[in-house]
């Protein structure tokens, strides 16, 4: 099929192993596929990761290569020279440490360390061929969410926004885009949307005054946003990632965000129930795109043959032909804007760069 039929490549899929199979390559050539998300199973070492990324780009240069690589317990690549980055809570604790000298000195030191973390995170991934990490987490640390926990910077949205902006500055220095998650906030609910359907019963006013505030304060620097698989019933009966009200009217309209919107993983429990009905991956993808997502993720489904991935690609092709969703040129432009802004140095050259060496020394 010609590219003019599919001007929008919204599907982000995974691959099973350390290199691409013939089946992987066939899937990645499909014009509906816009990127690949990598996991720890795709990692053996830097040379292997670099070779895998080159294989992906050889299929299509425009494919995004993505990973969840935040630091702390969510860091896919931890050996063979990769810097062990701290959980983001460590930066929040630095900010809150009592000052022994000038007032605010520790807050500024924490901000500087956040920039260093962002630069090291981005530069090391880019040196191996990865385009973008899904970071930073903008959820507030209420102390009750196990799945968020120390992935959050702090409870105070002002501190979260300031540290996130500093970390994004570091990513930008490395030529990498960013992704704020999980809009409008996953930190308040205890349930884990990977295995459950969390419900946050607060009012829109309460959420906008607290959890969602960083998205407005950062609307000039956020490259992309990932909504939460959480239901906020006082706003909409659908999870945020499937809600036109949350994505179009609140995130884009009220909070002024203009970048790309990724769905969270469609295989998570929080994505499988929409309007009280269990849905297929294709139905979930169509619902997310029609609500305002530009890109949708289906993770960990390439194993055991990847039938679910093939079903999604075929299902989305049929959904388009039936007029159930309409490709958007603006969405494709947003996807392409996430590709790295500059070439990356080779790993050995990066290790000798003064800016990188300085930043590594500042990582807590």
pLDDT band (50, 70, 90) for residue 2: very low
3-state DSSP assignment of residue 81: coil
Give pLDDT tens digits for 109-131: 999 999 999 999 999 999 999 99
- Tokens representing 72 are 């702390």
Q: Is pLDDT above 50 for 141?
A: yes
Give pLDDT tens digits for 199-228: 999 999 999 999 999 999 999 999 999 999
Q: Is pLDDT above 90 for 140?
A: yes
**Cβ-Cβ contacts under 8 Å for 103 (sequence gap 6 or more):** none
Please indicate whether residue 189 or residue 197 has the higher confidence score (pLDDT). 189
Predicted pLDDT of residue 4: 44
Q: What is the DSSP string of 162-199?
A: HHHHHHHHHHHHTT---EEEEET-SSS--S-TTTS--B
* Stretch 319-333: mean pLDDT: 93
Predicted pLDDT of residue 329: 93
Residues annotated as catalytic are 194, 264
Secondary structure tally for the chain: helices H, strands E: 13, 12
Lowest mean pLDDT among 97-111, 260-274, 332-346: 260-274
Q: Is pLDDT above 50 for 1?
A: no
Number of Cβ atoms within 10 Å of the Cβ of 114: 30
Predicted pLDDT of residue 270: 61
Predicted pLDDT of residue 303: 86
Q: Say if residues 12 and 64 touch (Cβ distance below 8 Å).
A: yes
* Stretch 73-81: mean pLDDT: 94
Can you tell me the distance from the alpha carbon of 209 to that of 127, in angstroms, rounded to the nearest whole number? 39
Domain ranges of the chain: 11-304+318-362
Quote the CATH superfamily of domain 11-304+318-362.
Glycoside hydrolase, family 3, N-terminal domain (3.20.20.300)
Q: Is pLDDT above 70 for 84?
A: yes
Q: Residue 312, class by beta-carbon neighbours within 10 Å (0-12 exposed, 13-18 middle, 19+ buried)? A: buried
List the alpha helices (DSSP H) in the chain.
22-29, 46-59, 88-96, 105-127, 157-173, 204-208, 213-217, 244, 281-291, 307-321, 329-337, 347-350, 354-362
Can you tell me the distance from the alpha carbon of 130 to that of 49, in angstroms, rounded to the nearest whole number? 9
* Stretch 101-111: mean pLDDT: 93
- Tokens representing 84 are 């062990």
Give pLDDT tens digits for 250-303: 999 999 999 999 998 898 866 667 777 888 999 999 999 999 999 999 999 998
Q: Say if residues 152 and 139 touch (Cβ distance below 8 Å).
A: yes
Share of residues in the chain with pLDDT > 70 (%): 95
């Amino acid at each position: 099929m010609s590219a003019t039929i599919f001007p929008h490549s919204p599907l982000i899929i995974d691959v099973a192993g350390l290199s691409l199979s013939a089946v992987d390559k066939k899937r990645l050539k499909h014009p509906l596929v816009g990127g690949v998300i990598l996991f720890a199973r795709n990692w053996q070492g830097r040379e292997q990761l670099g070779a895998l990324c080159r294989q992906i780009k050889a299929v299509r240069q425009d494919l995004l290569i993505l990973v969840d690589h935040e630091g702390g317990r969510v860091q896919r690549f931890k050996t063979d020279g990769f810097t062990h980055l701290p959980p983001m809570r460590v930066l929040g604790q630095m900010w809150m440490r009592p000052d022994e000298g000038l007032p605010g000195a520790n807050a500024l030191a924490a901000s500087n360390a956040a920039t260093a973390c962002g630069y090291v995170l981005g530069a090391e991934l880019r040196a191996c061929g990865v385009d973008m990490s899904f970071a930073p987490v903008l959820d507030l640390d209420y102390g009750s969410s196990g799945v968020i926990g120390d992935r959050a910077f702090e409870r105070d949205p002002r501190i979260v926004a300031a540290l996130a902006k500093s970390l994004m500055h570091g990513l930008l220095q490395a030529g990498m885009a960013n992704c704020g998650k999980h809009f409008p906030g996953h930190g308040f609910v205890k349930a884990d949307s990977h295995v459950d359907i969390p419900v946050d019963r607060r009012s829109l006013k309460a959420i906008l005054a607290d959890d969602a505030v960083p998205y407005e304060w950062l609307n000039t620097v956020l490259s992309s946003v990932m909504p939460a698989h959480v239901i906020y019933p006082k706003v909409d009966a659908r999870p945020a990632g499937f809600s036109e009200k949350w994505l179009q009217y609140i995130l884009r309209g009220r909070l002024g965000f203009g970048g790309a919107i990724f769905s969270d993983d469609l295989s998570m429990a929080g994505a499988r129930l929409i309007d009280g009905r269990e849905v297929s991956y294709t139905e979930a993808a169509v619902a997310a795109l029609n609500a305002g997502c530009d890109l949708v993720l289906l993770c960990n489904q390439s194993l055991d043959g990847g039938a679910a991935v093939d079903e999604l690609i075929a299902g989305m092709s049929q959904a388009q032909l039936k007029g159930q969703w309409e490709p958007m040129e603006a969405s494709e432009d947003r996807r392409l804007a996430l590709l790295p802004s500059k070439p990356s140095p080779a790993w050995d050259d990066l290790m000798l760069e003064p800016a990188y060496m300085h930043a590594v020394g500042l990582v807590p």
